[in-house]
Chains A and B, each alone.
Chain A
Amino acid sequence: MGILYLLATLGLVQGLKLMGEPSRARTGNLLAAASALLALAAITWACYRPETVGAHLVLLVLLLVAATVIGRVWSYRVPMTSMPQLVSIFNALGGLSAVLLGVNQVLAMGILPANRFGSTVLMLGVALGGLAFTGSMVAYLKLDGRKLPRGNRLHRLGARLLLLGMLLALALLWVLPDASGSLALLLMLVAVASLVYGILFTLPIGGADMPVLIALLNALTGVATLLAGLIFKDPVMLIGGILVGATGLILTAQMSKAMNRTLRSVLAGSIKSARGGAAESEEQVRPVTAVETASMLAFGKHIAIVPGYGMAVSQAQQAVYEMQGLLQRMGAGVHYIIHPVAGRMPGHMNVLLAEANVPYASIHGMEEVNDHMDRYDVVLVIGANDVVNPAAESDPDSSIHGMPIIRAYKAKQVVVFKRGMAKGYSGERNLLFERPNCRVLFGDAKESVKAIIDELKRI
């Protein structure tokens, strides 16, 4: 038993390590899955006692088989463009599971933790699980494009009060002479408070901040698992939870850094409100047609494509790949340049481009190419906005000042694909559009790319 557990733990650690290396990630995932399965068998064996009800064991097996089938069908049916939604939902399930466990343990089974430390851990675990559950559900709805309130002062006040209440409940555990009597009640209150808190917490965060939020919610479920590991005194849960928590926190930190924002400001949902006044019509934008863009491309030797969330929305990745093929046959070099926070979850653009069969070698990170942006004859910005806004470098008053950007403005010519005159998530006006080398191609990204393809075929 101990040996199986040791093997499973080592397998999980090694599996996750391999998942960080491009050539071995697939093996890593399989190793982690196999280790989880091994641990599953080990814990079932260990928990099985002579007095265990046989029907419960049968039930367990049925549940596991059902879950595997559901998981398999679900994860293969969802289109790749909906990956952020799927990851959020799976995360929500884990969070809810953590809440149910804690409630079940105390309320239904009546097993109270042996000491205050145990009670604290239990309560924290339930609170984080609840937060991760409703938080992920709200994130899912946002990603799915539902209109939700953007969080107002009342929400924020409510969130603060709930947080205060939960902290108070935790403090009570240590202040009350014998907290075990009121633990069940406190736990219920905390569970409910955390569920509501999760909603209020997530509402103000949106748009371009989604990658940070998703990574953070992932980390929270990890921490809930870790705490459950302490309660059930189970080393695999403990270490598994830590690995998840660490991964989530590292990604959260990386994403925040890529936006030059503190985690705090992301969570507050507070972007310095962009200075108003600059009416849309005042922006000097020079439109361009698909035909003109095609001829620019036909003459270009070095072409770069900067994809953003807008490309995902209009599902343009296949068309973009087709255009890349045409341009390459015409003798041009085509690079994709990806900003670390482009899209709605960490690595979102890479997943989309891989789905469209774009070769990995033509995809470049922002840091790799940013110093040589002037060598590109044409840069196509497809559905990205803030990540190419030169105001981040030049305007100290800008709300996005200091955020690393892709220096598209340094290219010889830039064409921005835009649906309308809407601003980016930051609400900041984009100084790129006013540059003399920048033209704007209005319309749906996919339709525009298709029009360019038709024109290129004619040339």
Chain B
Amino acid sequence: MNELHYQLTDIDGVFVLALSLLLGFEVIRNVPAVLHTPLMSGSNAISGIILFGGITQLLAAGPGEILVVVLSSLAILLGAVNMAGGFFVTHRMLDMFRATSKRNTEH
């Protein structure tokens, strides 16, 4: 990993964890029922960010390390499908909601 990579120390990590937990609960409180499904699938997409770990591994793998390449590639593919699919399906749902409310105002 090169010096450009911004990394946390253990204690930084715990610190960020504690603060953003509070933030997370604050941000998502009181979401109306209509948005429960899109919110869930949208946040589901974000969890695909786990693929970043795979990127770290794949780009650090040496020329002959087939097993590392295979495992990290698989992790990247799965995480990326999770992420792309999640954002797309959320978009599709929200488009549908929008179409519905438009029709509603035209009436």
A49 near B59 with CB under 8 A, answer: yes
**CB-based nearest B residue for A117:** B10
Q: Of the candidates A64, A235, A247, which one forms a contact with B39 in the assembled complex, judged by CB atoms under 8 Å apart?
A: A247
Chief secondary structure at chain B's binding surface: helix
Contact between chains at A71 and B34 (CB < 8 Å): no
Contact yes or no, B4 A45, CB < 8 A: yes
Residues of B within 8 Å of A338, CB to CB, are: 33
Q: Within the assembled complex, what's the spacing in Å between the Cα atoms of A354 and B41?
A: 16
Taking a contact as CB atoms under 8 Å apart, the answer to whether A101 and B75 are in contact is: yes
Chain A 227-267 near chain B by CB (<8 Å), digits 1 or 0? 01111111111111111111110110000000000000000
Residue A295 is within 8 A (CB to CB) of chain B in the complex: no
Say which one of A27-35, A150-158, A195-203, A444-452 lies at the interface with B. Answer: A27-35
Name B57's closest neighbour in chain A (CB-CB): A104
* A60 touches which of B25, B59, B87 (Cβ 8 Å): B59
Contact A97 B50 (CB under 8 A): yes
Please tell me if the beta carbons of B40 and A214 are within 8 angstroms of each other in the complex: yes
A-B contact count (CB 8 A): 381
User: Residue of B at shortest CB range from A45?
Assistant: B4
Q: Any chain B CB within 8 A of the CB of A176?
A: no
Given contacts A47-B59, A71-B81, A104-B72, contact A76 B44 (CB under 8 A): no
Q: A52, B60: Cβ atoms under 8 Å?
A: yes
Within 8 A of A (CB), among B69-92: 69, 71-92
Are B99 and A226 in contact, CB atoms less than 8 angstroms apart? Answer: no
Measured between C-beta atoms, what is the minimum distance from A209 to chain B in Å?
16
Complex interface: chain B residues within 8 A of A22 (CB) = 32, 34-35, 97
User: Is B56 within 8 A of A43, CB to CB?
Assistant: yes
Q: Per-residue CB proximity of B57-69 to A under 8 Å, as 1/0?
A: 1111111010111
Stretch in contact with the other chain, from A137-145, A164-172, A360-368, A431-439: A360-368
Q: Which stretch, A268-276, A305-313, A345-353, A392-400, touches the partner chain B?
A: A345-353
Q: How many residues of A contact B (CB 8 A)?
A: 116
Encoded as 1 (CB less than 8 Å from any A CB) or 0, chain B from 18 to 34 comes to: 00110111011111111
Choose among B76, B83, B93 the residue that contacts A36 (Cβ–Cβ < 8 A). Answer: B83
Which chain A residues in 299-350 approach chain B with CB under 8 Å?
Answer: 338, 340, 345-348, 350
Nearest chain-B residue to A350 (Cβ)? B34
User: A residues within 8 A CB of B49?
Assistant: 36, 39, 225, 236-237, 240-241
Is A236 touching B52 in the complex (CB atoms < 8 A)? yes
Residue from the list A36, A229, A358 in contact with B13, Cβ < 8 A: A229
Please determine whether A90 and B43 come into contact, CB atoms closer than 8 angstroms: no
Known: A13-B27, A39-B49, A83-B41. 10 other contacts (CB 8 A): A1-B6, A29-B94, A90-B86, A90-B89, A97-B79, A236-B52, A348-B37, A351-B96, A354-B34, A360-B101
A-B residue pairs in contact (CB < 8 Å), sample of 22:
A1-B6, A19-B39, A25-B38, A29-B42, A29-B94, A32-B87, A48-B2, A53-B62, A56-B61, A59-B58, A72-B84, A75-B92, A87-B44, A90-B48, A94-B47, A94-B78, A100-B54, A105-B57, A226-B17, A237-B50, A244-B43, A347-B35
Residue positions of A touching B, CB distance < 8 A: 1-2, 5, 12-13, 15-17, 19-22, 25-26, 28-30, 32-33, 36, 39-40, 43-49, 52-53, 56-57, 59-60, 63-64, 66-68, 70-72, 74-76, 78, 80, 83, 86-87, 90-91, 93-94, 96-98, 100-101, 103-105, 108-109, 115, 117-118, 214-215, 218, 221-222, 224-226, 228-248, 250-251, 338, 340, 345-348, 350-351, 354-355, 357-361, 363, 365
